Amino acid sequence: MVHPVLTVETESGACPGLVGARVYTLHETVAKHRRALPTPDTLA
């Protein structure tokens, strides 16, 4: 997952560019846990 930070000019509303970004990754153990969580299909 990427969390971007953009600049925006207040008068024109233009977006001149990217200021920074942070990349998040899931460790394998967390990813396995996430796959085990119930989904809307399995709740019904």
DSSP 1-44: -EEEEEE--TTT----EEEEEEE----HHHHHHHHHS--HHHH-
CA 13 from centroid of its chain's CA atoms: 23
Closest by CA to 22, choosing from 10, 41, 4, is 4
- At residue 15, the pLDDT reads 87
What are the distances in angstroms from CA 6 to CA 3, 10, 16, 23, 30?
10, 13, 8, 15, 29
Single pTM value for the model: 0.41
pLDDT in tens, the chain (44 residues): 888 898 999 899 898 888 998 888 876 666 677 777 788 787 76
For the chain, domain boundaries:
2-38
